[in-house]
Amino acid sequence: MNPIEEKLERCYADVKRSIDFTPRVAIVLGSGLGDYAETATVEAALPYSEIDGFPVSTVPGHKGRFLFGYVAGTPVVMMQGRVHYYEGYPMSDVVLPIRLMRRMGAEIVLLTNASGGVNAAFHAGDLMLITDQISSFVPSPLIGPNLEALGSRFPDMSHIYDPELCGLIREAAERLSIPLQEGVYLQLTGPAFETPAEIRMCRGLGADAVGMSTACEAVAANHMGMRVCGISCISNMASGMTETPLSHEEVQETADRVAPLFRKLVTETVRQLGACAGKRGEN
């Protein structure tokens, strides 16, 4: 067996030893959503450190554990804290949690993050439905021998963010009267914030928001046939768009300020996603 697949199976065996729970929806809680657990009915928590060989986040404000429970009656697994490529982990480790949540049974993944607004019409504190992405600046998690048990060598990425799920998120936002921007998320490696010239480049390439996570996770999830959707919290306007220097503290402060709305939108979204899980391939 390929070493990446072997590691996945070892981690899965560790999870199974600790908890017997089959999630339908996986949720990655990004900056500001870390305390989302308070909104969910949590049945069990599993610290990443208890899974042998599992990557553990070094970023302040990112806890590191899986939470198992229910959101609006749907069985979910939530990642409270993710690892980033800039922390030095190989890409196969960065997406290992996503692959593991698929292995646990999740069919849908909702990715959330904080990002810098590149679209001049955005404001710090906006929420953005991710409709597409640019991952070309970070290595693909699919490089290396193809993991045939997970997916095909050349997966189609033309609808990486599932159009039906995007529609559900739009409807959820409308129902809650939460204004929702839409756009393309571009992932850079970080960890430095971008220069104004880099942000102009991102805008020229068609990006609306820029961040240091998520796109690689969406590629790995899509490769495995998971249905992917995502919401980004525009925590700051990107470099060069305002006079203020960027800081992790600002990112966190804005994300925390928007968190109540973000939580509502996630709950309403998962209510809809729960009804959708298991539908792919059915007529």
Type of residue numbered 139: P
* 201 among known catalytic residues: no
Nearest Cα to Cα of residue 98 among 233, 262, 225, 279: 225
* 248 among known catalytic residues: yes
Q: How many CA atoms lie within 13 A of 136 on its CB side?
A: 8
- What track of x and - describes contact with ligand HPA for positions 60 through 99 (by CB under 6 A)? ----------------------------------------
Residue 114 binding ligand HPA, by CB under 6 A: yes
Residue 256 binding ligand HPA, by CB under 6 A: no
Interacting residue with ligand HPA among 4, 166, 224, 251 (CB under 6 A): 251
Residue 185 binding ligand HPA, by CB under 6 A: no
Nearest Cα to Cα of residue 81 among 90, 92, 71, 94: 94
Interacting residue with ligand HPA among 23, 34, 116, 141 (CB under 6 A): 116
Residue 231 binding ligand HPA, by CB under 6 A: no
**Residues in a beta bridge with 130:** 183
First-to-final CA distance of the chain: 35
State which of positions 190-219 bind ligand HPA (CB under 6 A): 193-194, 210-212
172, 274 Cβ separation under 8 angstroms: no
Interacting residue with ligand HPA among 131, 135, 235, 272 (CB under 6 A): 235
Nearest Cα to Cα of residue 238 among 205, 210, 207: 210
* 159 among known catalytic residues: no
Phi, psi of 61, deg, nearest 5: 90, -10
Taking the complex as a whole, how short is the minimal distance between the CB of residue 256 and ligand HPA, in angstroms?
13
CA–CA gap between residue 67 and residue 46 (Å, rounded)? 6
Active site residues: 31, 62, 84, 86-87, 114, 212-213, 236, 248
Contacts with ligand HPA by CB under 6 A lie at 114-116, 193-194, 210-212, 235-236, 238, 246, 251
